[in-house]
Structure 1
Amino acid sequence: MTDLAAPLSAFMTRVAGPGTLSGLARLSGGANMESWAFDWGASSHRGAYVLRRAPSADYMADRPYGHADEAALVMAAHDAGVKAPKVVGVLADSDGMGTGYVMRRVIAEVNPAKIVPAPPPSLIADLGREMARIHAIPRAAIPAAIPLMDTGAALAELKARFLTYGGDRPAIALAIKWCEDHLPTPAEPVLVHGDYRMGNIMVDGDGLAVVLDWELAHRGDAHEDLAFGCMTVWRFGQLDKPAFGVGSIEEYFAAYEAAGGAPIDAARFRFWLVYRTLWWALGCLQMGQAWRSGADTTVERVVVGRRTAEQELDLIALLEEEAPAAERARALPPSPSAAPVPAGEPTNAEMVQAVRDWLASEIKPRSEGHGKFQVAVAMNALGIVMRDLGAGARAEDQALAAAMMAGATTLAEPGLLARMRRAALDKCAVDSPKYAALARARAAWGG
């Protein structure tokens, strides 16, 4: 089955009683941790479970708290009435499976592509209610290891990371400077889930079934949580429904406040919408760095690293109102000319196309589970390379980025916004051509 079968069976015998293990399979996706579904119990009474784990301590080295504290937090949320998973046991070193915990598996839909086109009628109200419940968890119930976020220090850390990654993306520099200029005063801290969005919730016929993935939880500003699920990237194509891709901001806020959430501050919400988009842009760059350093050599890392282009496009769309009206109305410059295709031997792009076609026709149909997901990611990577070869689409400009972070250059400079729009459109067309916001930006910007 896998090398997990024997130690997992021993663990489940200890925490859940005698039984047999069956159906052990790795779940698709999961940007950082592994998730394994399995059944356990006697033949007459079996239960569905999920093991969430990091295979080694190295995976947890840069995290503020470990899986034991994460599991304790999930249990506290469950006990407080939040639709959180029910934890049944936490791995020990002696279990030989890395770090992690086992929870009851909820049988429901998690794929945003299947949820957002026709969500349950109650879903936006459910999302607001559960958000309010999370924020109401008493401080005394929150494990001491869960950190308090200092927004100014966190922003400074993002800026330092950006410089480490080259400091050469003007759209990111623009966002850093804007956040520095609009840093809100500290808020009364609440428990912030930190990753509350489509993809981390499960839905059944009755609405929201469970809230997953608590690894980024911390104490901080409630508006951070409220804004995160409203980012463009987490609407999964439903751009006309800015709250999670399933409803309006007004519906979401009303449900949150009706469930006991504090009144919303619009300016604070906007800050966090920009901040979290910036945060994810740098998160994508970090994925590429993780691959380059050898810390994580999966193909998924390099592909996610190229999704930075989506967030740069979104940051420009969020912040372009800072430019004068004349600059917002300025026509875009032309895209760089693509290299001509020679008629002789196959080009690099054609060679990549041949490999991609072979994966699609020969390998993907024979793959299953996480393996099939990995083949799809590899095909996506080759597609990016094909589009990039000869396209001339670049977004790096270290001197401009430095000037923008210093405040020496702003969107009032004639032609700057138009050039940044063009660079963002061209780069996103290479890296994420199906990103819904790309078509919207082209229509809005005349690109």
Structure 2
Amino acid sequence: MIDLSHALSGFMTRIFGPGELSGLVRLSGGANMESWAFDWAGPKGSAAYVLRRAPSADYMAGRPYGHADEAALVIAAHGAGVKAPEVVGVLADSDGMGTGYVMRRVIAEVNPAKILADPPPSLIADLGRELARIHAIPAEAIPAAIPLMDPATALAELKARFLDYGGDRPVIALAIKWCEDHLPAPAEPVLVHGDYRMGNIMVDGGGLAVVLDWELAHRGDAHEDLAFGCMTVWRFGRIDQPAFGVGSLDDYFAAYEAAGGVQVDRDRFHFWLVYRTLWWALGCLQMGQAWRSGADPTVERVVVGRRTAEQELDLLLLLGAEAPEIERAAALPPSQRALADPTGEPTNREMVQAVRDWLGDAIKPLAEGHGKFEVAVAMNALGIVMRDLDAAVRAEDKALAGAVLSGKATLAEPGLLAKLRRAVLDKCAVDSPKYVALARARTLWGG
């Protein structure tokens, strides 16, 4: 275990000269990388910084480029007038902290719930403008390591991953087949941020303050970026506002086009909305694989792995219109639940509940910082287990998924849409019962 404070002090001394480090604390969140906030006081005064790092090579395995190229891209974006962080230095092997870089810290709000509770009036226009600026970064300023995405190749890779993960989820199979059948013609490539959404932007009283997390950037179709922040999951409960949970698509697109972005093609936008929802469904499954392999042993990883249910629900909401009207209007089959036995010795469910209650009553009040976040995640994991113990059936069906993937089964098949709707409703009720789209789907589908 490294002494991060000592190692970081050495790095800052190398960059700025002698000084003193204080206030080192890990920031909550960050699905893949660690972020550490700290202050550095030198001869010219004190300032706030953030270290973004991967503590080992395992965290960077399979990525098309490393932190040095990511930092170079962020520097290029900042230089092009994008509200990107200001990078002050890149970690070297000799620093002993893994890979990463240090940025000046922006003091602004990043929590989506707090931002969306009272968003600045300019925010939807800011989001459109900033994305247009990202897409306008000159090709010659983009590091050579930033890859070009070919949609057909990327979709084939998603399909291969799905099969590697078991190939047993019919709704994911449905989305793959739909994307194969609706693959758009190639677009003029631009720099795509790749993770442009609530949670990766910071906001202050003046509007959008900074765009974070550039690790998924690549060159590709501008509509991919346009769609990603409009996924239901990234609206953080405000599903009545389709653009980032902030406003309307019309206002978002108008701001983007007014700032020099490409003219928005609604059909192309819809394709990327489906594709990126599919991508995140498989990304959630990948989180579980990372835990199983030991690459990331945190409880957060297994919990995110169960969020696939949210994306399956969203995919069926997006694709259900493909079914004939008679199938869309069909009643759902009844939900099947296991019968609990409240007598005798404590059941597995009651044992899990006892541990969950103890974490909430005895441990969470004593935890601080990232530790409090981890306790909350652990309690969420146990809640999923409790609900799963009550479930009589699972939503996985390899035979049906194979039939859908091959095109032998379609939403025109009598009863299939109703069966899929019931399965995703029940699965999401176990894995993410507070997901706002679950209540919307129940209202729409009569479930």
Normalising by the residue count of structure 2, what TM-score does the alignment of the two structures yield?
A: 0.99
Q: Deviations over 1:43-75 (max 9, x none)?
A: 872100000000012211210000000000000
- For 1:287 and 1:56, the matched residues in 2 are separated by 17
State the match for 1:433 in structure 2: 433
Q: Is the 8 A contact 1:16 1:88 kept in 2?
A: no
State the match for 1:377 in structure 2: 377
Secondary structure (helix, strand or coil) at the match of 2:321 reads helix
State the match for 1:21 in structure 2: 21
Secondary structure (helix, strand or coil) at the match of 2:117 reads coil
Q: CA separation of 1:73/1:44 partners in 2, compared to 1, >3 Å: closer, same or farther?
A: closer
The Cα shift of 1:2 comes to 7.3
- For 2:341 and 2:226, the matched residues in 1 are separated by 48
State the match for 1:392 in structure 2: 392
- For 1:211 and 1:188, the matched residues in 2 are separated by 23
State the match for 2:7 in structure 1: 7
The Cα shift of 1:42 comes to 3.3
State the match for 1:248 in structure 2: 248
Secondary structure (helix, strand or coil) at the match of 1:409 reads coil
State the match for 1:129 in structure 2: 129
Matched ranges for 1:335-374 at <5 A = 335-374=335-374
**Structure 1 letter corresponding to 2:200:** N
State the match for 2:79 in structure 1: 79
- For 1:443 and 1:19, the matched residues in 2 are separated by 60
**Structure 1 letter corresponding to 2:119:** P
Secondary structure (helix, strand or coil) at the match of 1:268 reads helix
State the match for 1:298 in structure 2: 298
Residue 264 of structure 1 pairs with residue 268 of structure 2? no
Secondary structure (helix, strand or coil) at the match of 1:155 reads helix
State the match for 1:204 in structure 2: 204
Residue 422 of structure 1 pairs with residue 422 of structure 2? yes
Q: Deviations over 1:398-422 (max 9, x none)?
A: 0111111101110011110001000
The Cα shift of 1:378 comes to 0.2
Q: Once structures 1 and 2 are overlaid, which stretch shifts more, 4-13 or 138-147?
A: 4-13
- For 1:112 and 1:235, the matched residues in 2 are separated by 8
Secondary structure (helix, strand or coil) at the match of 2:409 reads coil
The Cα shift of 1:340 comes to 2.8
The Cα shift of 1:298 comes to 0.7
Q: CA separation of 1:60/1:115 partners in 2, compared to 1, >3 Å: closer, same or farther?
A: same
**Structure 2 letter corresponding to 1:285:** L
Matched ranges for 1:326-337 at <5 A = 326-337=326-337
Residue 217 of structure 1 pairs with residue 217 of structure 2? yes
Q: Is the 8 A contact 1:303 1:381 kept in 2?
A: yes
- For 1:170 and 1:155, the matched residues in 2 are separated by 17
Q: Is the 8 A contact 2:224 2:269 kept in 1?
A: yes
Q: Is the 8 A contact 2:16 2:42 kept in 1?
A: no
State the match for 1:144 in structure 2: 144
- For 1:182 and 1:44, the matched residues in 2 are separated by 57
Matched ranges for 1:317-328 at <5 A = 317-328=317-328
Secondary structure (helix, strand or coil) at the match of 2:331 reads coil
- For 1:41 and 1:342, the matched residues in 2 are separated by 61
**Structure 1 letter corresponding to 2:400:** L
- For 2:326 and 2:43, the matched residues in 1 are separated by 72
- For 1:259 and 1:420, the matched residues in 2 are separated by 42
- For 2:340 and 2:264, the matched residues in 1 are separated by 54
- For 1:212 and 1:188, the matched residues in 2 are separated by 25
Secondary structure (helix, strand or coil) at the match of 1:389 reads helix
Q: Once structures 1 and 2 are overlaid, which stretch shifts more, 52-61 or 199-208?
A: 52-61
**Structure 2 letter corresponding to 1:187:** A
Q: Is the 8 A contact 1:393 1:430 kept in 2?
A: no
The Cα shift of 1:19 comes to 1.0
Secondary structure (helix, strand or coil) at the match of 2:269 reads helix
Secondary structure (helix, strand or coil) at the match of 1:210 reads strand
The Cα shift of 1:394 comes to 1.3
Secondary structure (helix, strand or coil) at the match of 1:21 reads strand
Q: Is the 8 A contact 2:278 2:311 kept in 1?
A: yes
Matched ranges for 1:146-225 at <5 A = 146-225=146-225
**Structure 1 letter corresponding to 2:83:** K
**Structure 2 letter corresponding to 1:394:** R
- For 2:120 and 2:58, the matched residues in 1 are separated by 40
Q: Is the 8 A contact 1:198 1:229 kept in 2?
A: yes
Q: Deviations over 1:140-196 (max 9, x none)?
A: 000000000010000000000000000000000000000000000110000000000
Secondary structure (helix, strand or coil) at the match of 1:23 reads strand
Secondary structure (helix, strand or coil) at the match of 2:334 reads coil
Contiguous gaps of at least 5 residues in structure 2: none
Count of aligned pairs: 447
State the match for 1:34 in structure 2: 34
The Cα shift of 1:296 comes to 1.2
Residue 443 of structure 1 pairs with residue 438 of structure 2? no
**Structure 1 letter corresponding to 2:293:** S
Residue 314 of structure 1 pairs with residue 304 of structure 2? no
Q: Is the 8 A contact 2:2 2:97 kept in 1?
A: no
Q: Is the 8 A contact 2:17 2:42 kept in 1?
A: no
**Structure 2 letter corresponding to 1:78:** H
**Structure 1 letter corresponding to 2:121:** P
- For 1:340 and 1:106, the matched residues in 2 are separated by 51
Q: Is the 8 A contact 1:393 1:427 kept in 2?
A: no
The Cα shift of 1:342 comes to 3.3
The Cα shift of 1:93 comes to 0.4
State the match for 2:62 in structure 1: 62
- For 1:337 and 1:282, the matched residues in 2 are separated by 27
- For 1:192 and 1:376, the matched residues in 2 are separated by 33
Contiguous gaps of at least 5 residues in structure 1: none
The Cα shift of 1:295 comes to 1.5
Q: CA separation of 1:105/1:348 partners in 2, compared to 1, >3 Å: closer, same or farther?
A: same
**Structure 2 letter corresponding to 1:190:** V
